[in-house]
Amino acid sequence: MYDMKHAPTFDHSVMRPDILGAEFLGEGTNFALFSDHATKVELCLFDDSGQQELHRLELPEMEGGIWFGYLPGVMPGQVYGYRVHGPYEPEQGHRFNPNKLLLDPYARELRGQIQWDDALHGYQVGEDDLSFDTRDSAAFMPKAVVVDAKFDWDTDRAIRTPWQNSVIYEAHVKGLTQMHPGVPEGDRGTFRGLGSDAVIEHLQRIGALAIELLPIHAFANDRFLGEKGLSNYWGYSTLAFFAPHAPYLKSGQIREVKEAIRKLHKAGIEVILDVVYNHTAEGNELGQTMSLRGIDNASYYLLSPDNPRHGFDTTGTGNTLNVAHPMVLRMVMDSLRYWVEAMHVDGFRFDLASTLGRETQGFERDGSFFNAIRQDPVLSGVKLIAEPWDIGEGGYQVGGYRWPFREWNDKFRDDTRAFWRRDPGLLPALSERLAGSPVQFNHSHRPATSSVNFVAAHDGFTLWDTVSYNDKHNDANGEDNRDGHDHNLSDNLGAEGATDEPGIIAARIRRVRAMLATVLLSQGVPMILAGDDFGNTQDGNNNAYCQDNAISWLEWDKAREEVLLAVQALSAFRQDVSLSQSRFGVAPADADDRHPVMEWLHPRGGAMEDGDWQDGELRCFALQQALPDGKNVLIVVNAGEDAEFALPEGEWVLRIDTSADEVAQDRPLSGTVPVPWQTVMALVR
């Protein structure tokens, strides 16, 4: 490693503008940063602690807005940052301030945490944002670290689980592991805990074939939350798109992420990352200058065309990343490819994906970002999931994405909750959800696996809280219970919150099992929120984004075995009968050898008639599916009181009964059979 007592010298014969970030090339490191409007870029080298700046070197070359230089002898472990010179003209969108140390947007590993201080602002706090602050921010900033990408992946390779087989488990690295008794105490809250035998065994037990992790990219713990004694638990405030969040690393080294992914892959479990490329942690024009704002605000962010002093905010966070810019798009694409090629992740869920499709005329399903991914030989082959909305005009786009994207389907969540709450007139809506929501997704050659079906996700009530609370209880968030939405479609079934009443507990278990069965027995891709598989509660908090504590952490010692066994049985049945299909179902009149044939049945026997669909009090019906492999599956749902159902002719075998103590069944049935209240039954012929 280079002796940092003396300033290293750039080698002009080796330096490269085509590889952005800090790339170790075997005997030295190439540094490259894009800034179209800068006049000078300085590379700052720090000691191992990141506290002392040792050398400040001007990057010697610039081509196409990329500033670059190669330093021989600079090895992995070197701590660094940037200072970027240029015009400070906020009214023109330019906010260069070389007094502010800036994080490399391509940083692979970080050293240190943000220490909130007014010096992090490019302007003088207390004055307007047209003022200029001369204080050095380096002492308060995390720094980037040069890394060596070498890792022994052994025989690890992409699993590529077919969409129709996948069952997704949405989880938080810390929340999943922090209170798990089977995870070594020192590994809890980290990737080592995520890759522990105890966590993997649980995922295998419930049939999860993919784990979707809430943001693991390095993120900021927002200042306003820290001042209230809270923190950014969910992580939707990205600071660096290539680096993992340092507190999730026990050793601080990125190899821990690779080790966890390698173990999960050996267990047959894919890893999907929830990624936030729509905005960053820098906020609006009154926010901090920590990275992109100081590197080139006018290139990296969408600015108001009428007044570039202000950002164009479609995310509700103060800024919007300008992915329509070719170099910003390249940064996002480079980040995605890095996580696939270097870190071996299997897919991505895109937060507020509609923002990524915003062009000059609004949301474009054929926008530059989506088209770039669709043609990319690396990214087009991994799992891609859109959160198909943002808060901007025209942002709600459920069903509006092209293949190969899948989409979170909030219509499934709302209709399923309302149906099992016994709201009237929901049979037509639930029939759509059981069939894979064809109205939304059966177009543009999209498959029947386009809908990601869920009844609860990280944002909102847990499933257990959906049957335990009529109202949100976000008192711990410090906003007098004003935050979080009120459209919970919940029902406490007789008591608000926890209760010892056996009848209420039994009813809650019955309804939770029925809702989980709806998720796991519908066409599409099922997603289960971590903890919903065993009745986890957040005490009625439906916006626990700031609760890095027992409110959000899974309480494994309170797991309800009755719920867990139901999920296990439902997942096994789904795989055993190959229930999920890649093609949408057709009516019996259109039967062929490629599509499942679907028919809706009334409890009295025979097909549902037009008038039956308008019966607002009817809460029991069935979906009969003739699958292409010859199996016939009958899914009977009953959200009402005890009922009787006339089975189609033939010898049926009852395989699932969510009202029974043992959900998994193997019992022949024929004729008219009882269907208990709040029950899902699955039969095979």
- Please list the active-site residues: 351, 387
Q: Tell me the DSSP string of 22-63.
A: EEE-SSEEEEEEE-SS-SEEEEEEE-TTS-SEEEEEE--EEE
What are the φ and ψ backbone dihedral angles of 508, each rounded to 5 degrees?
Answer: -65, -45
- Which residue's structure tokens are 């920590």? 290
Report the distance separating Cα 484 and Cα 459, nearest Å: 9
The residue whose two tokens read 């809890």 is 188
Using CA atoms, how far apart are residues 141 and 101, in angstroms rounded to an integer? 7
**At 357, is the secondary structure helix, strand, or coil?**
coil
> What is residue 333's DSSP assignment?
H
d(CA 8, CA 28): 11
Spatial CB neighbours of 611, under 8 Å, sequence gap ≥ 6: none
How far does CA 246 lie from the centroid of its chain? 19
Q: Which residues of 511-549 are buried (b: 16+ CB within 10 A; e: fewer)?
A: bbbbbbbbbbbbbbbbbbbbbbbbbbbbbbbbbbbbbbe
3-class DSSP assignment, residue 365: coil
Kindly tell me the burial class for residue 147, based on how many C-beta atoms sit within 10 Å of its own C-beta (0-12, 13-18, 19 or more).
Answer: buried
361 — alpha (psi -120 to 50), left (phi > 0) or beta?
alpha
CA atoms of 329 and 300, how far apart (whole Å):
9
Structure tokens at 486: 């009120």
Collect all residues with Cβ–Cβ distance below 8 Å to 671 and sequence separation of at least 6: 646, 647
Tokens of 263: 């173990």
Residues 247-254: contacts with CB within 8 Å, 24+ apart?
A: 247/174, 247/189, 247/190, 248/173, 248/174, 248/189, 248/190, 248/191, 248/216, 249/190, 249/191, 250/186, 250/187, 250/190, 250/191, 250/192, 252/109, 252/111, 253/109, 254/108, 254/109, 254/147, 254/343
Bond from prior residue into 404 cis (ω within 30 degrees of 0): yes
Handedness of CA 232, 234, 238, 239 (dihedral sign): positive
Element (H, E) at 71: strand 66-72
Between CA 614 and CA 621 the distance in angstroms is 13
Cα 209 to the center of its chain, rounded Å:
16
Residue in 527, 655, 582, 636 with CA at minimum distance from that of residue 206? 527
Answer yes or no: are the C-beta atoms of 206 and 567 closer than 8 Å. yes
**Cβ contact 237:177 at 8 Å:** no
Burial class, 393, CB count within 10 angstroms (exposed 0-12 / middle 13-18 / buried 19+): exposed
CA distances 539 to 258, 509, 553, Å, are 34, 16, 12
Helices (H) and strands (E) in the chain, counts: 16, 31
The vertex-206 CA angle with 200 and 210, nearest 5°, equals 60
DSSP per-residue codes, 481-518: T-SS-S------TTSSS----HHHHHHHHHHHHHHHHH
